[in-house]
Structure formats: C-alpha cells, structure tokens
C-alpha cells in the first residue's frame, strides 16, 4: 500500500504522533516497522477502552508491520504511577502471571497473535545489576520526572512518591532499547513515559522511536473515560446481547468517536457517517444499531451480532424476553422479601439498592411493575416467574 495512504489510515483516530514526519519517513522506507505496546497485567479483564490501542496496533499488523507486545511482568511489580494520587499497591509475580494469561487470551480477540512478537520485560530487566540501573537512571533527570503532572501534584501536596515510581519510566523506556522499537503506542496518559523512551534510545545509540498515542475512550455514560471502576465499560468477553444492549445505551454524540476508535471501518466510511449524522441523512438510532453490530461482530462474529440484535428487539420493541435468561433457585425462606430476592438473584448489589430500584419503578415481576420496596411474597407464588430489573437484567425463578 502507498505509504501516504498507510499514514492516512493510521492517523485516523490517533491523538498525537511525535514527530509525524519521522513516521512518514519510516513508512516510506518500505521496511516493516517494529511497533511496541507495553502492558502491565495489573488487572485481568480488557474492555473496549483498552482495545482502542490494540485495534490501532492491529492496523499496523494488517499493513505489514510487526506488533511487539510486551508483558510488563517486571515493571508490573512496581506498577505504573500514571494518574495515581498515591503509591499503587504491588502485586505478586503469581498474580501478575495469572492476569497476563487471561489478558493474552483476550488480546487474541483483536491482534493476530501468530504474527505478534510476545515478550516479557523480565527478560532484560531482571538480569540488570545495581550499577546497570544507575547507568540507565543517568539518562533521565529528576527535573524531567517532576515535570509530570501526577508527580508534580503529589509533590506539591506533600504526598509520598517512592523512588521505585521514579524508576518506572526508566524501566519502561529501556523496553524500547531492548526491542529496538520504531514506534511505541499508548494512551494519551502515557505520553510522558513514551517520550522518555526516545531519550533512552538516543542514550544507547538508537534512532528514537515515534510516539503514537490514541485517545481515552469515553464510557457508555458519556461523561468519563471508560473504566471498570466507573461501571461504564463494555468488556470484550461480555456476551453478545450485553455488548449490543450497552452500545445502544450510549449518547448519540459519542457515535462518531466510537466508530473511529472501536471499529475497523475505513476512515472514509467514518467521515461519511459523520457527515450523514450532521446533515440529517442518517438517523442516530439506526446508526447506533450499525455500531452495535460492528462491535459485536468484531468480538463474537456476524451471526452472534444478528442474534443479539434480534434479542434486543424482542426485549425493547416487543417487550419480550431474551433467549438466555439465567435461572435462579429461590431461597428457602417463606415468605420472601422482594428486595432480598433481587439481591440474591444478582440483579442488584445489595438489598438497599434493590429497594431503591423498586421505588424508582425499575423492577417487574412477570411484566408487572413492583412498587413496594418492603414487600414480602409467598415462595410458591414466585416459582416459574421472571424478574426484570431495568432494561437488560433478568432472572427466571425456580423452586
């Protein structure tokens, strides 16, 4: 493919490319580039926010370049301090390895793992002597580190910054030297660490890597970045119906951002969608359906996407039930507190939340809206009935 067209495809949905001229030159050279992405397996699950950078890395792969995926089994012992207001708790090597295995299985839903180079940074970091670490640290100044927003704010507020956290960007930057990276990818919150990699490569006589960052995906709530802790995420391994339903809940003003960052559509198609939504020739609801189908197809296949859409229509247009309503055994108590039953069925996190949902009119039993948060019902009146909380949570009750 023409290098200029490669560049156009790669820049679509990118946040910053530093410097973009160097990326253009390296693409024009015609040689496959080594494109590095480092991940610290601090958590086992991947959501669509994590997948943004993975999808861009897959773009590089599809254009003939080498994806170098680094599992931070050594840096993960320290933990990335980016965005942290306090020192991150450390994980054991066993926890990191367990997370890494789960993470890699999910990454395989995005990357072509047969064409990816998988490395663990303990390969080159663990053998370093203290003298080696001191030499590496000499390539980075304290002034540089304190220029980071998170370090700066913690320093000014008197919050502790451990020396190990200062060493984190030093270690991550040495990953670029060890793998001879041409490009390093990350979210916009990683720009500082990636730029340190350029300095470290210069110090080791290598051409500095191009820094390639992608935006942080806005979550389904439409306000904050996607995060499991905010409850506004969509996991790559969530069932097709869950993925479809959650995508259909996003605000309309996220459509173009999500098409650009979460799908494999060509930039021309995304621009056409943007224009169509702006001039009214595309309906936001139908466009959102297309987005939901695209996302479910990426992670579960086209047939699963069709089934998820049909299930969505049964529930939301025909007021029916999805095909895979889970069964929940009724507790032995008689009568049963409805709030306790909702929590028992996993449809609310607690009895108090269940009572709040009932008060808000968000709970139905066999289609009938429940109104009394303190209600108790005889056990034999509940067997075989279906609880519904909100639009997407169901449980079929059995004795």
| Whether 288 and 170 share a structural domain | no
Residue 163: both structure tokens together? 């020396």
- Please give the tally of structural domains in the chain: 3
CATH number of the domain bearing residue 124: 3.40.50.620
**Which residues share a beta bridge with 397?**
328
Nearby residues of 199 by Cβ (< 8 Å), 6 or more positions away: 139, 140, 173, 208
CATH number of the domain bearing residue 296: 1.10.240.10
| Whether 275 and 377 share a structural domain | no
Cis omega (within 30 of 0) for bond into 335: yes
Residue 309 CA: distances (Å) to CA of 86, 101, 183, 288: 43, 31, 39, 11
H/E/C letters for each residue in 166-179?
HHHHHHHHHHHHHH
| Whether 38 and 132 share a structural domain | yes
Residue 231 inside a domain? The answer is no
Domain region containing 152: 3-214
The band of 240, judged by pLDDT with boundaries at 50, 70 and 90, is very high
| Whether 296 and 266 share a structural domain | yes
Q: How many CB atoms lie within 10 A of CB 320?
A: 12
Residue 313: both structure tokens together? 């229509």
Residue 208 CA: distances (Å) to CA of 31, 142, 205, 211, 329: 16, 21, 9, 9, 60
Residue 38: both structure tokens together? 């480092």
Residue 40 inside a domain? The answer is yes
Q: Report which secondary-structure segment, H or E, holds 6.
A: helix 3-11
| Whether 120 and 254 share a structural domain | no
Please give the Cα distance from 215 to 188 (Å, whole number): 6
Q: Are 38 and 121 in contact (CB under 8 A)?
A: yes
Domain end marker among 271, 295, 316: 316
CATH number of the domain bearing residue 342: 3.10.290.10
| Whether 151 and 57 share a structural domain | yes
Q: Which residue has the higher pLDDT, 109 or 43?
A: 109
| Whether 32 and 157 share a structural domain | yes
Domain end marker among 169, 199, 214: 214
Angle at the Cα of 97 from the Cα atoms of 42 and 68, rounded to 5 degrees: 80
Residue 322 inside a domain? The answer is no
Q: Which pLDDT tens digit goes with each residue over 146-185?
A: 877 778 788 788 888 888 888 888 999 999 999 999 999 9
| Whether 304 and 340 share a structural domain | no
pTM of the full structure? 0.74
Domain end marker among 272, 293, 316: 316
CA atoms within 13 A on the CB side of 75: 26
| Whether 331 and 307 share a structural domain | no
Cis omega (within 30 of 0) for bond into 115: no
Segment 100-129 shows an average pLDDT of 92
| Whether 250 and 209 share a structural domain | no
Query: Mean pLDDT lowest for which of 100-109, 144-153, 255-264, 291-300?
Result: 144-153
Residue 245 inside a domain? The answer is yes
Residue 219 inside a domain? The answer is no
Q: Which pLDDT tens digit goes with each residue over 327-358?
A: 888 888 888 899 998 999 888 888 888 898 89
Q: Report which secondary-structure segment, H or E, holds 365.
A: strand 363-365
The band of 49, judged by pLDDT with boundaries at 50, 70 and 90, is very high
């Amino acid at each position: 493919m023409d290098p200029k067209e490669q560049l156009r495809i790669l820049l679509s949905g990118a946040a910053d490319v530093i410097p973009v001229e160097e990326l253009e030159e390296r693409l024009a050279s015609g040689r496959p580039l080594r494109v590095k992405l480092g991940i610290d397996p601090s958590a086992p699950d991947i959501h669509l926010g994590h997948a943004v950078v993975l999808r861009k890395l897959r773009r590089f792969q599809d254009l003939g370049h080498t994806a170098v995926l680094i599992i931070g089994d050594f840096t993960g012992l320290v933990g990335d301090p980016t965005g942290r207001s306090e020192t991150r708790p450390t994980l054991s090597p066993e926890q990191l390895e367990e997370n890494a295995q789960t993470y890699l299985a999910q990454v395989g839903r995005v990357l072509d793992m047969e064409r990816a180079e998988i490395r663990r940074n303990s390969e080159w970091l663990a053998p370093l002597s203290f003298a080696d670490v001191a030499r590496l640290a000499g390539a980075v100044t304290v002034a540089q580190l304190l220029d980071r927003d998170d370090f700066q704010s913690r320093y000014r507020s008197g919050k502790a910054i451990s020396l190990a956290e200062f060493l984190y960007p030093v270690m991550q930057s040495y990953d670029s030297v060890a793998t001879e990276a041409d490009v390093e990818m990350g979210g916009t919150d990683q720009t500082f660490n990636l730029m340190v990699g350029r300095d470290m490569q210069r110090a080791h006589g290598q051409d500095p890597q191009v820094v390639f960052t992608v935006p942080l995906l806005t979550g389904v709530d439409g306000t904050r970045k996607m995060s499991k802790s905010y409850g506004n995420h969509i996991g790559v391994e969530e069932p097709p119906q869950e993925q479809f339903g959650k995508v259909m809940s996003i605000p309309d003003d996220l459509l173009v951002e999500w098409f650009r960052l979460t799908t494999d559509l060509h930039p021309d198609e995304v621009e056409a969608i943007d224009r169509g939504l702006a001039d009214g020739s595309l309906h936001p609801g139908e466009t959102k359906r297309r987005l939901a189908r695209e996302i479910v197809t990426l992670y579960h296949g086209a047939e699963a996407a069709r089934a998820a859409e049909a299930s969505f229509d049964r529930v939301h247009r025909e007021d029916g039930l999805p095909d895979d309503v889970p069964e929940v055994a009724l507790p032995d108590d008689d009568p049963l507190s409805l709030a306790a039953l909702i929590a028992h069925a996993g449809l609310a996190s607690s009895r108090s939340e269940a009572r709040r949902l009932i008060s808000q009119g968000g709970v139905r039993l066999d289609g009938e809206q429940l109104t009394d948060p303190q209600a108790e019902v005889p056990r034999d009146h509940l067997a075989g009935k279906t609880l519904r909380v909100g639009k997407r949570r169901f449980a079929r009750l059995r004795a």
